[in-house]
């Protein structure tokens, strides 16, 4: 297992075929204000790739965009809504089709309100991960080894989590419902970017 660090783009042909796990690190959680700093990506075969974008980046990244925009590759996220919006805002693409482990967890782990990645990894995979580096400066001139390992851990377990969650979705007969939710998520991200982040447009009032 190796964490590979890249500047401004993903090297060509470093990922195997099939679904890829994706995550982002930004300067904060306010879309439109807090820039995209890092995109993490992994093919589930043991290595993780981090692509860092500098303050003056043009976000060209043709290799990364080709992978994220590939309609034949499923992208695995944890809380896809935010990552999809950040990727669309800065890279200009819809990084779909989508599988969101947080959405799947909410559909099948209805016995708890703990749907964070740390909680999922602990319960379903028996692994402990640290979130200590989550609220750090991702826009600095250098990333620490601790930041890199934290960023990599956000995509390291998503393939294994998908397998576990798929079993539960099938058991509870919610696979089709989950898929419908996943297909809507890119549109939910567009609504967020368009100004409807805090409004439920489906609400009666």
Find the helix packing angle between 175-191 and 80-91, rounded to 10°: 40
Instruction: Give the pLDDT mean for 177-204.
Output: 94
When pLDDT is cut at 50, 70 and 90, the band that residue 133 belongs to is low
How does the average pLDDT of the chain come out, rounded?
A: 94
Instruction: Give the pLDDT mean for 159-185.
Output: 98
Residue 123, pLDDT score: 97
When pLDDT is cut at 50, 70 and 90, the band that residue 188 belongs to is very high
Domain boundaries, the chain: 3-196
Residues 44-61 have pLDDT tens digits of 999 999 999 999 999 999
Distance spanning both ends of the chain, measured CA to CA: 51
Query: Which helix (H) or strand (E) covers residue 107, if one does?
Result: helix 101-108
Residue 32, pLDDT score: 80
Instruction: Give the strands of the sheet with 48-52, arranged side by side.
Output: 3-7, 48-52, 36-42, 20-26, 75-77, 98-100
Residues contacting residue 44 through CB under 8 Å, at least 6 positions apart: 16, 18, 19, 20, 21, 158, 159, 160
Q: What percent of the chain has pLDDT over 90?
A: 86
Residues 151-163 have pLDDT tens digits of 999 999 999 999 9
Residues 60-119 have pLDDT tens digits of 999 999 999 999 999 999 999 999 999 999 999 999 999 999 999 999 999 999 999 999
- Please name which of 85, 75, 87, 84 lies closest in space to residue 42, comparing C-alpha atoms: 75
- Please name which of 103, 74, 77 lies closest in space to residue 169, comparing C-alpha atoms: 103
When pLDDT is cut at 50, 70 and 90, the band that residue 205 belongs to is confident
pLDDT greater than 90 at residue 177: yes
Task: Decide which of 3.30.420.10, 3.40.50.2300, 3.30.2130.10, 3.10.20.30 is the CATH code for 3-196.
Answer: 3.30.420.10
Instruction: Give the pLDDT mean for 133-159.
Output: 89
Residue 97, pLDDT score: 98
């Amino acid at each position: 297992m190796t964490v590979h660090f890249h500047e401004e783009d993903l090297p060509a042909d470093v990922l195997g075929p099939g679904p890829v796990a994706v995550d982002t690190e930004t300067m904060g959680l306010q879309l439109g204000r807090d820039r995209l700093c890092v995109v993490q990506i992994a093919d589930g075969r043991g290595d993780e790739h981090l692509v860092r974008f500098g303050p003056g980046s043009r976000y060209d990244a043709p290799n990364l965009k080709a992978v994220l925009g590939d309609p034949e590759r499923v992208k695995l996220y944890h809380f896809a809504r935010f990552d999809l919006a950040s990727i669309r805002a800065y890279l200009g693409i819809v990084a779909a089709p989508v599988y969101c482990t947080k959405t799947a967890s909410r559909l099948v782990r209805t016995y708890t309100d703990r749907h964070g990645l740390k909680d999922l990894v602990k319960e379903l995979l028996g692994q402990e991960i640290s979130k200590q580096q989550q609220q750090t400066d991702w826009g600095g001139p250098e990333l620490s080894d601790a930041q890199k390992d934290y960023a990599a851990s956000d995509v390291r377990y998503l393939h294994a989590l998908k397998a576990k969650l798929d079993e539960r979705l099938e058991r509870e007969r919610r696979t089709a419902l989950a898929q419908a939710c996943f297909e809507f998520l890119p549109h939910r991200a567009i609504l967020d970017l368009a100004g409807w982040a805090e409004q439920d447009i489906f609400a009666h009032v």
